[in-house]
Structure 1
Amino acid sequence: MSYDRNQVLWTCLLTLESLVSAVQATSENIAQSKPVSSSHYSYGGVPERGNDGNFDGRFGGGSCVLGEKTLADPFPWWQINLQAPYCVELVAITNRADAFQWRLHNFTVSVYIEDPTTTPTAEAKVCAVYPGTVGAGAREVLPCGSRVRGQYLRIQKNEMRFDDALQFCELEIYGTESSLDVDTSPRTGSFFSKTPAHRLAGTPLSQRVGTRIQCGLSCDQIPRCFGFNFQAELHSSKGHCELMLNPGSDPVHDPSWNWYHKRC
Structure 2
Amino acid sequence: MTFTSEKAVDGCINQNFGNKCCIHTQANPSLLEAWWQINLGGPVVIELVKIYNRNDVAKERSSRFGGFQIYLSNTTDWRNGDNCHTDTTSTWQSMDLAPSIQSCTGNTIYLTIYVDRRPNKRFDWYSDKAILELCEVEIYACVKGNYGSFCDNTCPVNCKDGVCDQHTGECEDCVDGYHGRKCDQRCSDHCKGNVCNQGNGTCRGCALGYFGSTCEQTCPSNCNVNLCVQANGVCIGCKQGFFGNKCNSRCSLQCKDNTCIQSSGQCEECEPGYHGVKCDRICPSTCGKKSCIQISGWCTGCASGYFGSTCDQTCPSNCNDNLCVQANGVCIGCKQGFFGNTCNSRCPQQCKDNICIQSYGQCEECNSGFYGHACLDMCGYCQDENCDKDTGTCLSPCENGLTGDKCDIKVVYIPGVEDDFNVAAVGIGVGLGVVVIVLVIVIIVLARRLHSRTNTDTTRSATTANISMSSIGQELPGDSDGQYEVIGAMASKQITTKISPDEGSYEKLGPGDKDVPHLYETT
Could you state the TM-score of these two structures normalised by the residue count of structure 1? 0.50
Determine the C-alpha separation between the residues in 2 that align with 1:59 and 1:108.
22
Structure 2 gap ranges (5+): 119-126, 146-154, 165-169, 187-192, 201-523
How many Å apart are 1:149 and its aligned residue? Answer: 1.4
Structure 2 equivalent of residue 177 of structure 1: 143
Residue 165 of structure 1 and its aligned partner are, at CA, apart by: 0.8
> Shift of residue 96 of structure 1?
0.9
Matching of residues 39-78 of structure 1 within 5 Å = 44-68=2-26, 74-78=32-36
Deviation at 1:241, TM superposition (A): 8.3
Counterpart for residue 214 of structure 1: 176
Deviation at 1:168, TM superposition (A): 1.8
Structure 1 counterpart of 2:100? 141
- Which SS does the other structure have where 2:85 is aligned? strand
- Any gaps of 5 or more consecutive residues in structure 1? 1-42, 186-190, 194-199, 201-211, 220-224, 232-237, 246-264
Q: Does 1:228 align with 2:187?
A: no
Determine the C-alpha separation between the residues in 2 that align with 1:168 and 1:134: 19
Question: RMSD value over aligned CA atoms?
Answer: 3.9
Residues 229 and 241 in structure 1, CA contact (< 8 A), matched pair in contact too = no
1:87-127 CA deviation, whole Å, 9 max, x = no partner? 222211112122331211111111111222xxx7x731122
| Correspondences of 1:62-101 after superposition (within 5 Å) | 62-68=20-26, 74-99=32-57, 100-101=60-61
CA positional deviation for 1:81: 0.8
- Note if contact 1:228-1:242 (Cα within 8 Å) is conserved in structure 2: no
Aligned length: 165
Q: Which has the higher strand share?
A: 1
Any idea what SS the aligned residue of 1:80 has?
Answer: strand
* Partner Cα distance (1:157, 1:150) in 2: 21
Q: Taking structure 1 as reference, are residues 143 and 137 closer, same or farther at Cα in structure 2, changes over 3 Å only?
A: closer
SS at match of 1:56: coil
More RCO (CA 8 Å, sep 6+): 1
Is the partner of 2:175 in helix, strand or coil?
helix
Distance 1:166 1:94 in 2: 11
SS of 2:21's equivalent?
coil
Report whether the alignment pairs 1:158 with 2:116. Answer: yes
Counterpart code for 1:228: C
CA distance in structure 1 between the aligned counterparts of 2:22 and 2:140, rounded to whole angstroms:
20
Alignment partners' CA distance in 1, 2:8 and 2:33: 17
Distance 1:52 1:134, change over 3 A: farther
Q: Note if contact 1:106-1:131 (Cα within 8 Å) is conserved in structure 2.
A: yes
Structure 2 residue 63 is the aligned partner of structure 1 residue 114: no
Q: Which amino acid aligns with 1:141?
A: S
TM-score, normalised with respect to structure 2? 0.27
Distance, in Å, in 1 between the alignment partners of 2:198 and 2:55 is 49
Q: Distance in 1 between matches of 2:93 and 2:159?
A: 36
Q: 1:101 to 1:136 in 2, by over 3 A?
A: farther
Percentage identity across aligned positions?
A: 20
Could you tell me which residue of structure 2 aligns to residue 35 of structure 1? none
